[in-house]
Amino acid sequence: MIDYTKYLRISKFPLIWCAGCGNGIVLKSILRAIDKIGWAKDEICMVSGIGCSSRTPGYVDFNTLHTTHGRAIAFATGVKMAKPELHVIVVTGDGDATAIGGNHYIHAARRNIDMTVVIFNNNIYGMTGGQVSPTTPMGMKASTAPYGSVEASFNISGLAEAAGASFVARGTVYHVFQLDKLIERALLKRGFSVVEVLTPCPTAYGRRNRMGTGVDMIRWQKEHTVSVQEAGKLTPEQLQDKIITGVFVDVDRPEYVETYQKLVQSLRERAQKH
């Protein structure tokens, strides 16, 4: 059994997350994956933007950066370029990563820079009280959509896949054993890896949409998700109200820092010859 306290900044507790919030489940899943891999704390840099989920680096005893809203991947890119030996992990919300930070998200995937982005997708802006986010499903309520959102929502895993990420997976806090494995695989993948985690926000999303307690919302995940393997056997009608989980992409592509360093090296050698 893992000793979580080894990885936590106990002085920062109690944490700010509401009762029934799924963020703590994701945090523990990340810690179990790191513990299994066996990385030393100082080999890791965890970066976040702003949001409830983005408070995560405050609670862990790695090298950590709590940056500005939407800019976690941009800061993480700088860290990885300056210190390629670090294992860079970004923890971010659906709003942070795909609204204000959407541009950084797609271009980091396109570059295939070696980092892992764990997106806590609670379908809402939790920290600021429940504004609509790019993943709020159409028809669901938010403080800025009191009659239901009229916008189509993003498939944020699909977006990373289309943009060129090396590893893309979606899990839930209900399927926690699967989540541990998805995060472990993403951390070990060389290149840009994404794990989208569906996690309940009972306070800003569930309450407004009458989804019950955090436990009810986790039960909802159990009933409304199917694995990629199962999905292949279902008709479009059967899939209509289902969210697909599992690994969508696991490919090897040239990694950005390595490609950049090779270029620098070849230019240095050329300069020495002349």
Ligand X SMILES: Cc1ncc(C[n+]2csc(CCOP(=O)(O)OP(=O)(O)O)c2C)c(N)n1
> Residue 47 contacts by C-beta under 8 Å, 6 or more apart in sequence?
57, 64, 65, 67, 72, 73, 75, 76, 79, 88, 89, 90, 91
Task: Please check whether residue 267 is in contact with residue 250, taking contact to mean a CB–CB distance below 8 angstroms.
Answer: no
Query: Which of the choices ligand X, ligand SF4, none does residue 63 contact, using the CB cut-off of 5 to 8 A by kind?
Result: none
Query: Which of the choices ligand X, ligand SF4, none does residue 37 contact, using the CB cut-off of 5 to 8 A by kind?
Result: none
Phi, psi of 135, deg, nearest 5: -110, 5
Q: Which amino acid is at 90?
A: V
Q: Does 71 bind ligand X (CB under 6 A)?
A: no
| Nearest residue to ligand X, by Cβ distance, number only | 93
C-beta closer to ligand X: residue 136 or 166: 136
Radius of gyration over every alpha carbon of the chain, rounded to an integer in angstroms? 19
Q: Does 187 bind ligand X (CB under 6 A)?
A: no
Q: Does 95 bind ligand X (CB under 6 A)?
A: yes
C-beta closer to ligand SF4: residue 134 or 164: 134
Q: Does 17 bind ligand SF4 (CB under 6 A)?
A: yes
Task: Please check whether residue 111 is in contact with residue 192, taking contact to mean a CB–CB distance below 8 angstroms.
Answer: yes
Q: Does 125 bind ligand X (CB under 6 A)?
A: yes
Bridge partners of 189?
none
Task: Please check whether residue 132 is in contact with residue 142, taking contact to mean a CB–CB distance below 8 angstroms.
Answer: yes
Q: Does 209 bind ligand SF4 (CB under 6 A)?
A: no
**Which one of 125-133, 154-162, 187-195, 255-263 is the stretch in contact with ligand X (CB under 6 A)?**
125-133
Of 51, 102, 191, 202, the residue at the interface with ligand X (CB under 6 A) is 51
Of 39, 128, 161, 220, the residue at the interface with ligand X (CB under 6 A) is 128
Task: Please check whether residue 120 is in contact with residue 49, taking contact to mean a CB–CB distance below 8 angstroms.
Answer: no
**Which one of 74-82, 88-96, 138-146, 173-181 is the stretch in contact with ligand X (CB under 6 A)?**
88-96
Q: Which helix (H) or strand (E) element contains residue 242? A: none
- Whether the bond between 14 and the residue before it is cis, its omega within 30 degrees of 0, is yes
- Residue at token pair 């070696």: 114
- Residues 17-46 binding ligand X (CB under 6 A) are none
Q: Does 59 bind ligand SF4 (CB under 6 A)?
A: no
Q: Does 52 bind ligand SF4 (CB under 6 A)?
A: yes
Q: Does 93 bind ligand X (CB under 6 A)?
A: yes
Of 64, 112, 122, 193, the residue at the interface with ligand X (CB under 6 A) is 122
C-beta closer to ligand SF4: residue 201 or 249: 201
Q: How far is the C-alpha of 85 from the C-alpha of 79, rounded, in Å?
A: 10
C-beta closer to ligand X: residue 53 or 166: 53
What are the CA-CA distances from residue 14 to residues 58, 59, 129, 197, 233 (Å)?
Answer: 12, 10, 21, 23, 45
C-beta closer to ligand X: residue 39 or 154: 154
Which residues sit at the interface with ligand SF4, rule CB under 6 A?
17-18, 21, 23, 52, 122, 126-127, 201-204
